C-alpha cells in the first residue's frame, strides 16, 4: 500500500508472521531477522523502485530525498496499541543511490 502523510509518500506492507508470543518479542533485532529470512528486504527494495519510477514519471518535480519517507513493514501480531514502543514496526529508507542503481540495472532507458 502507498500512502501520503505530511507531503511524503510511504510504502506499507502488513505481515502476519509469528515471531513470538508477546509484543516484546517483536523488537528491532527480531524484525530484522524476519526481514532477512523471508527476503522482505529484497521485496521492499523492488517495491521502492516501482514507486520511485511511478512517481518520478507522474508527479512533476518529484524529489526522492524530500518526497519519499520510506518503507514500513507492520508485523500485526507484534503491534501493541497500548504502548508507545515501535514493537512490530520495521522502517527503512533505502538510499537514492541504491534505488537508482537498481533502476539502471532493471529498467531499460532508466
Judged against a pLDDT cut of 80, whether residue 106 lies above it is answered with: yes
Is 52 part of any domain? Answer: yes
Is 1 part of any domain? Answer: no
Cell 506499507 locates to: 12
Average per-residue pLDDT for the chain: 94
Instruction: Give residue 49's domain range.
Output: 8-106
Question: What per-residue confidence (pLDDT) applies to 100?
Answer: 97
What is the count of structural domains for the chain?
Answer: 1
Question: What per-residue confidence (pLDDT) applies to 16?
Answer: 94
Residue 17 burial (CB count, 10 A): 19
Question: What per-residue confidence (pLDDT) applies to 24?
Answer: 82
Instruction: Measure the CA–CA gap between 68 and 48, rounded to whole angstroms.
Output: 9
Instruction: Measure the CA–CA gap between 5 and 23, rounded to whole angstroms.
Output: 26
Catalytic residue among 13, 25, 67, 92: 13
92 is catalytic: no
Question: What per-residue confidence (pLDDT) applies to 88?
Answer: 93
Is 3 part of any domain? Answer: no
Is 21 part of any domain? Answer: yes
Q: Looking at per-residue confidence, does 39 or 25 come out higher? A: 39
Amino acid at each position: 500500500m502507498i500512502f501520503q502523510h505530511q507531503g511524503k509518500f510511504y510504502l506499507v506492507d502488513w505481515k502476519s508472521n509469528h515471531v513470538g508470543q508477546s509484543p516484546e518479542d517483536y523488537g528491532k533485532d527480531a524484525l530484522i531477522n524476519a526481514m532477512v529470512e523471508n527476503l522482505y528486504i529484497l521485496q521492499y527494495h523492488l517495491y521502492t523502485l516501482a514507486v520511485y519510477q511511478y512517481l518520478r514519471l507522474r508527479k512533476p518535480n518529484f524529489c526522492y530525498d524530500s518526497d519519499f519517507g520510506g518503507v514500513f513493514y507492520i508485523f500485526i501480531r507484534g503491534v501493541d496499541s497500548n504502548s508507545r514502543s515501535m514493537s512490530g514496526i520495521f522502517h527503512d529508507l533505502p538510499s537514492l543511490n541504491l534505488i537508482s542503481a537498481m533502476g539502471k540495472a532493471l529498467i531499460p532507458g532508466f
